[in-house]
Amino acid sequence: MVQELIAVQIRLSPNSRAFREWVVPSVPLYFEVFMFNWTNSERFPGEPPHVQQLGPYRFREERQRVNITWSDNGTVSYRTLRRWHFDAATSNGSLEDNITTLNVIAASAIYRSRFWGFFQQKGLSMGLAMFNHKISVSKLAKELLFDGYEDSLLDLAKSLPSSTTGGAPPVDRFGWF
């Protein structure tokens, strides 16, 4: 009898308590991010990188399942919407912190070019120099994490054939989340 009561409560059906909790969880979810500030990037490659750990930058996550469809075979399909809200009171840092880190856009382009021909690699090298791209980039924490930032190399990548970019979809901004 107890097992039957439990089974009724945890069954995922449109009218169950478990379903309501599953659609919009009431249990708070938190997400912490640590960033690493590259303190001697201007001396690379002559010196090994020195980094300073920053954070945690703490976020409260809200989740909601939407477009819920019940199938005849007993399965459920849905999409999950996620929103993050910065929790300044419990974070050790501000989203306005200036952070110097690896220039992931330039580093990715360099990595992608490892199998290119000589002239393609030379073109990339000239483009990086022309746009004054360095191995490091300094941005605000909010730009690196969620807002993203614009970069001339992303604009250039949009004009290239997809075979050059590895089929990656064109983007206007780069950010980790």
Tell me how far apart the alpha carbons of residues 113 and 171 are, in angstroms, rounded to a whole number: 19
Residues 6+ apart with CB under 8 A from 38: 49, 50, 51, 100, 101, 102, 136
Do the Cβ atoms of 51 and 39 come closer than 8 Å?
yes
Tell me how far apart the alpha carbons of residues 154 and 103 are, in angstroms, rounded to a whole number: 12
Per-residue pLDDT reduced to its tens digit, 24-61: 999 999 999 999 999 999 999 999 999 999 999 999 99
pTM: 0.76
Amino acid at 91: S
The H-or-E segment that residue 74 falls in is none
pLDDT band (50, 70, 90) for residue 161: low
